[in-house]
Amino acid sequence: MQLYNTLSAEERAILIDDAGKQRLTLSFYAYAQLPNPTEFRNELFLAWNPLDVLGRIYVANEGINAQLSLPADNFYAFKDTIEKYDFMKGIRLNIAVEHDDYSFLKLTIKVRDKIVADGLEDETFDVTNIGIHLKAKDFNELLENPNTIVVDMRNHYESEIGHFTNAIKPDVDTFRESLPIIENQLSEHKQDKNLLMYCTGGIRCEKASAYFKHKGFENVYQLEGGIIEYTRQVKAEGLESKFIGKNFVFDHRLGERITDDIVSQCHQCGKPCDVHTNCVNEGCHLLFIQCDECKTTMENCCSSECVEVIHLPEEEQKAIRKGIINSNKIFKKGKSGVLKYKN
């Protein structure tokens, strides 16, 4: 019984080409009490693998967080596999704004402690006691209210390339960092202001809204379905998009164009640019913003040091990488000291 991906990304890409079918990229989440997340994880893999579902999915005792792609032909068969579970019946599936058949090239389902790492160990915190969900039209209206504070619940490298106008954008690397920062910054407005939050697909706001209600904030709102669903509703209803720029996504595309605005800069030369890339050096892979000119000049590297490394023989590159933990450098995601202009 196969319970794990057995094909390489290259092999999977060939199979996608050979199939010649359009694929849908979508995401969803659900908070629920799952007594046996490992068993749930295995059931999902066995159901999804035959449907050619690919993606990155996390399950935990508190629910599921999924970002995936599948052949459009298999969409309704896929819906049947998730709606057999009571807590996912009628669940909203956020369909990507821009489609890419190669957005995911493996099916990875992992069991985690939490579907959104929050660093909280408060057993009195009820994650299901959430704020008020707002659709795009109501969200836009509340944005215009002078009594509203809007907060971006994403990380710095996400909000850097696109955000709602006048939003507070915490300069953080992780969701868990943002919670105490926002609470402290807005501690004097727990009763007198509307706390309006948004994120990519809604999952972080869902937990954040419950957290801030737990901390005494009285008027807590969140964008239903996040930026992805907001964009769909804006287009369908002919609304003005208050979100400008690109929406960062966690697949190989690294972003979906929402408006033509370029709100960020190349981390190497400072020109207007909002294209994320990973340093091509296998021992680095730093995520940063790089324009086409710098991509050519720097050979898709983040620094001259990495350019030197990629020209070494492969065996020498492997020797340099051996035993070195690069997670701290990768984790900086555009804050590395090697990015001269950015820093």
Distance from C-alpha of 130 to C-alpha of 70, rounded to nearest angstrom: 31
In the block, which residue shows the tokens 């907001």? Answer: 230
| φ/ψ (deg, to 5) at 265 | -130, 155
- Tokens at 153, concatenated: 């619940």
Distance from C-alpha of 51 to C-alpha of 296, rounded to nearest angstrom: 40
Distance from C-alpha of 250 to C-alpha of 287, rounded to nearest angstrom: 12
One-letter amino acid at 47 equals A
Contact 221, 132 (CB under 8 A): yes
One-letter amino acid at 314 equals E
Neighbours of 126 (CB within 10 A): 12
- Tokens at 158, concatenated: 């996400």
Distance from C-alpha of 67 to C-alpha of 70, rounded to nearest angstrom: 11
3-state secondary structure of 30: strand
Contact 196, 148 (CB under 8 A): yes
CA dihedral (235, 169, 179, 68) in degrees, to 10, reads 40
Any long-range contacts for 176-179 (C-beta under 8 Å, 24+ apart)?
176/117, 176/118, 176/119, 176/120, 178/153, 178/208, 179/118, 179/119, 179/120, 179/208, 179/211
Catalytic residues: 199
CA neighbor of 66 nearest in space, from 55, 78, 76, 74: 55
Contact 71, 23 (CB under 8 A): yes
What sign does the dihedral 168-98-88-82 (CA atoms) show? negative
β-bridge partners, 22: none
